[in-house]
Amino acid sequence: MDRVRTLKLTLAYDGSRFVGWQRQATGDSVQGLLERALTAIEGAPVAVHGAGRTDAGVHALGQVASAQLAASHDTGTLLRALNAQLPYDVRVLTVEDAAPDFHARFSARRKTYRYLLRNAPFAHAFERAFVWHVAETLRVEPMQTAAALLRGTHDFAAFRSAGSDVSTTIRTIGRSAMFEAEGWPLLGGAAAGRLIVFEVEGDGFLRHMVRALVGTLVEVGRGSRPPESMAALLRAGTRGEAGPTAPAHGLYLVAVDYD
């Protein structure tokens, strides 16, 4: 019998047309497509586990998945075979042999997410599925002040959507930064308008947590709430007092870190 090995796969995808990472009863999921491709290689069903269950419309630059299979192909051959079978909006970036007990979700120690806001009178046609367009001018400095208050260990219950099943809403955020980026390479720099970026890294995230944080930060940028309200929201833990959930298509899973 062939030895079963554990693989660590890093992949990127445009989440626009998917029902999300997790397989669903109907519609294409990234997990389902990856399992189908690995099953074709293995000749038997293969289960795939992802580091984060990105929602419909959310993109990934560095999603990590794990799977076990007995196929003896080297990692380079597996990489080419997977990308040959997957649609072009899903690309496997690396395939690595991992320790037998490696699990993409449970072995993860930190994740980094990025959210893109196009703050301009209009968003370019070619970026409409990749940024949240906010036409009203946002003040970045108050947003930076509010984002900094998220660092540390806090109860993020005020930024959790209903339907999540977790034992605790306490999370530790190591990086929380809001900044302006230089244009958009495809569209030609400043002509495309302001690109505001929120980047957050932490030991875990609640359902829709990053999008709820962004929705609240945008309210700060509009002047409809003070930056200091972030600290009050962390203390109160009431979802209804925080801002709206930002659209999914501006969110990216950037990286997953392991020990």
* Cα–Cα distance for residue pair 10/8, rounded to 1 Å: 7
CATH class of 109-258: alpha beta
pLDDT tens-digit series, residues 236-259: 888 999 999 999 999 999 999 998
Q: Please, which contacts does 40-46 make with residues 24 or more away whose CB atoms are closer than 8 Å? A: 40/85, 41/69, 41/71, 41/73, 41/78, 41/81, 41/82, 42/69, 42/70, 42/71, 43/71
User: Across all residues in the chain, what is the average pLDDT?
Assistant: 93
| Identical topology for domains 5-98 and 109-258 | yes
Q: How far apart are CA 11 and CA 196, in angstroms?
A: 25
What's the pLDDT score for residue 1?
A: 42
| Strand, coil or helix: 190 | helix
Q: How confident is the model at residue 122 (pLDDT cuts 50, 70, 90)?
A: confident
Question: 117-147: buried (b, 16+ CB within 10 Å) or exposed (e) per residue?
Answer: bbbbeebbeebeebbbbbeeebebebbbebb
Q: What ranges in the chain are assigned the alpha helix state H?
A: 30-42, 75-85, 140-148, 209-222, 229-236
Least confident of 109-118, 147-156, 178-187, 216-225: 178-187
pLDDT at 185 over 70: no
Q: Which CATH architecture has domain 5-98?
A: 2-Layer Sandwich (3.30)
The pLDDT value recorded for residue 28 is 95
Q: What are phi and psi of 124, to 5 degrees?
A: -65, 150
- Domain range summary for the chain, segments of one domain joined by +: 5-98, 109-258
Interatomic CA distance for residues 37 and 254, integer angstroms: 23
d(CA 69, CA 48): 10
Cα–Cα separations (whole angstroms), residue 257 to 31, 77, 211, 251: 20, 25, 21, 18
- Residue 36 Cα distances to 45, 82, 98, angstroms: 8, 10, 21
Q: Comparing 165 with 183, which gets the higher pLDDT?
A: 165
DSSP tag of 234: H
Query: Which entry of 2, 14, 28, 55 is annotated as an active-site residue?
Result: 55
Q: Is 101 a catalytic residue?
A: no
C-alpha span between 230 and 48 (Å, rounded): 37
By CB atoms closer than 10 A (0-12, 13-18, 19+), residue 105 is middle
Instruction: Let me know the angle formed at the C-alpha of 56 by 50 and 61, rounded to the nearest 5 degrees.
Output: 55
